């Protein structure tokens, strides 16, 4: 039996809870390693017309931005000092405290039914089962 599978079975027996796999979520790939033009050069996408630069803005439409007056409902009659305390008073009750964080043992329920135990054992032994099946077929 694989050492990894044996250790996972030991952890299953001790904790009586399913094991997280992987314990920390990880990405399958690093997004920074992707080429910047992956959409344009993808072999699965239908070929498109050659990329053309964005159309330029005509001269008569440039720099014609005039801001709208602020809406009366969005303007506050409070001074900036009062608005900061109002924001804090609103957000503080919604913030997590140390008492609102669940302990790690309560995040996963204990295994109770025989089907749950069997499912976890098969999940742990899955690589060994696949390896034995491939060795028998070859």
Q: Nearest CA to 88 among 103, 78, 98?
A: 78
Domain residue spans in the chain?
A: 1-20+112-138
Alpha carbon 52 to its chain's center: 35
Mean pLDDT, rounded, of the chain: 77
Query: Among 8-22, 43-57, 62-76, 123-137, which stretch is predicted with the lowest mean pLDDT?
Result: 43-57
- Number of residues that this document lists for the chain: 138
Segment of 57-71, 75-89, 90-104, 123-137 carrying the highest mean pLDDT? 123-137
Spatial distance between the Cα atoms of 124 and 24, rounded to a whole number of angstroms: 17
What is d(CA 124, CA 115) in angstroms, rounded to the nearest whole number? 14
Segment 3-34, tens digit of pLDDT: 999 999 999 999 999 887 776 667 777 777 77
Within 1-99, residue ranges assigned H as helices are: 3-15, 80-91
Give CA–CA dist 85/4, Å, rounded. Answer: 54
Residue 38: the pLDDT is 47
Burial tier of 135 (Cβ tally within 10 Å: 0-12, 13-18, 19+): exposed
């Amino acid at each position: 039996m694989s050492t990894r599978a044996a250790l996972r079975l030991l952890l299953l027996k001790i904790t009586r809870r399913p094991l997280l796999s992987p314990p920390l979520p990880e990405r399958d790939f690093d997004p920074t390693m992707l080429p910047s033009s992956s959409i344009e050069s993808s072999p699965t996408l239908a070929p498109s017309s050659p990329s053309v630069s964005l159309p330029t803005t005509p001269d008569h439409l440039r720099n014609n931005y005039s801001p709208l007056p602020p809406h009366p409902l969005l303007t506050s009659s409070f001074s900036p000092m009062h608005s900061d305390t109002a924001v804090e008073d609103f957000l503080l009750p919604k913030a997590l405290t140390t008492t609102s964080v669940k302990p790690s043992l309560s995040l996963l329920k204990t295994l109770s039914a025989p089907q749950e135990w069997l499912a976890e054992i098969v999940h742990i032994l899955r690589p060994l089962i696949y390896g034995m099946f491939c060795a028998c077929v070859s």
